[in-house]
Amino acid sequence: MSYQPSLNPLSGARATDDTLNAILRRLERIEKSAGSPSTTSPQSGTPASLETTHLQSGTQSSRLSPFVISRDRPAVAASDASHRHSTTKNVLATSPSLPERGPHAVLQEALRRVQDLNIQALSIETVTTTIDVPPELAKTWIQRYFEVMPTDIFLSLVDRRVIELLPDMIGLPHIHLDPAILVVYYYILRMGCTIPVVDQEQNVHFTGIHYARSMYIYCLRAIPNWQREAVGSTTDLVAATVLTQAASDALDPQLSAQLFQLASKYAIGLDLHNTDSPNYPSGFGQDNIDEVRRGFWELMHYEFFHRLVYDYSPTMTAQMKQWIVSLPWLESCERPVSQEVPTIRFILKSRLTFILAEFFMLLENISGRFEGELFAQVLALCQQIDDISKDWDITGAKTGNELLK
């Protein structure tokens, strides 16, 4: 386990000029490409290109192939957005024959602008933001995270003791840390700082939520070093998976989808889809087999969500007939009572996953069916989701927050 000073974005003073200059050069290339009408350029706080591990099922390889984060359109600068807004107002004022856009189109355009401006701001902040997080504060966030979210996807495959040691290790000379661990570490800090503290009078206090964006920026800064050393290990899988969720939370669905594709490649390379095959070369051990199963089904839930909301192409779910993965056992004498809510949450998400799987299989076999028949089947699936919502009281203030967080 080692550390290079260039891998420490928690302190702007300690971050090396080489890392920042590399990011700046990438951003300059992005800006030049954005000016060309024939080129679609990535516009995000994420480095312009990621190198992903080339994996085949059942094997791990350190041979890297390009993984480029691309975007459908360049980000819109605040001044450009303002100019376009004023121009649109003038056109609408002088062209009464121009048809009005419906509420769906207006909302879609507003969301697109928010995403563009957010991504552009992240691009700048990735280079310029500096902040020091005291080790004791980082330790508090880590403890809070593991108290509230101990069963987050695949994180049980990472040694908690290593994460707890990192606040004191980062910044020390002659120590080289696995970049994938750093990605996971910053993600845990990001989640931990957003968890509220409840005092004795049951008042809720958000003491560190203003650090959340900075922690996400540090996740982005860690990506280049991580991808240069990624070999498709278990830690690489965890890093790609947690970043998928972080990017989605940061209103960057394109980055989230591409990171999920990376996580899927790592999962296939580790043979997670053959977890319960007689020939499965288990590298996790029987003690972790249920966590691997649960993590796999969580990945499926992620993918179905992306396919449903963003209409992305299937990756792992395209080969569902080839899966040999059981659901995890939900009863264990070693499982503490504090994990009852995560267990219930997994049951709920599993039921939703199966409903979504049935929906997409219905779409794949749409040919030759009457529209009325398909509508009735989709409506029945929607009714199942509504029944689940009522059965588990998802809309309830307390239960809903616990089950869906």
> pLDDT tens digits, residue range 343-357?
677 777 778 888 888
Which pLDDT value is given to residue 48?
A: 40
Q: What is the pLDDT of residue 30?
A: 58
The DSSP letter of residue 315 is S
Confidence (pLDDT) at 327: 73
Q: Which stretches of the chain drop beneath a pLDDT of 50?
A: 1-16, 35-68, 73-98, 333, 335-339, 397-405
Show the beta-strand stretches assigned E in 126-273. 197-198, 204-205
Angle between helices 160-169 and 179-194 (to 10 degrees): 90
* Phi, psi dihedral angles at 237 (to 5 degrees): -60, -45
pTM, to two decimals: 0.65
* Continuous segment of H or E residues that includes residue 67: strand 64-68
pLDDT reported for residue 78: 38
Which stretch of DSSP H or E encloses residue 383?
Answer: helix 371-391
What pLDDT does 163 receive?
93
Q: Tell me phi and psi for residue 283, to 5 degrees.
A: -105, 5
Which SS3 state, helix, strand or coil, does residue 388 take?
helix
Q: Which residues contact 90 (CB under 8 A, 6 or more apart)?
A: none
CA distance 169 to 167: 6
For the chain, what are the domain ranges? 1-252
Q: What is the pLDDT of residue 47?
A: 41
d(CA 405, CA 196): 13
Is 252 in contact with 294 (CB distance < 8 Å)? no
Read off φ and ψ for residue 326, nearest 5 degrees.
Answer: -85, 165
Any bridge partners for residue 50, and if so which?
A: 67
CB-CB contact of 382 with 330 (8 Å): no
Alpha carbon distance 253, 260 (integer Å)? 10
pLDDT digits (tens, 9 = 90+) for 176-194: 889 999 999 999 999 998 8
CA distance 69 to 254: 8
CA distances, 9 to each of 92, 208, 216, 332 (Å): 47, 18, 11, 40
CB atoms near residue 162 (< 10 Å): 16
Burial 298-321 (b: 16+ CB within 10 A, else e): bbbbbbbbbbeeeebeebbbeeee
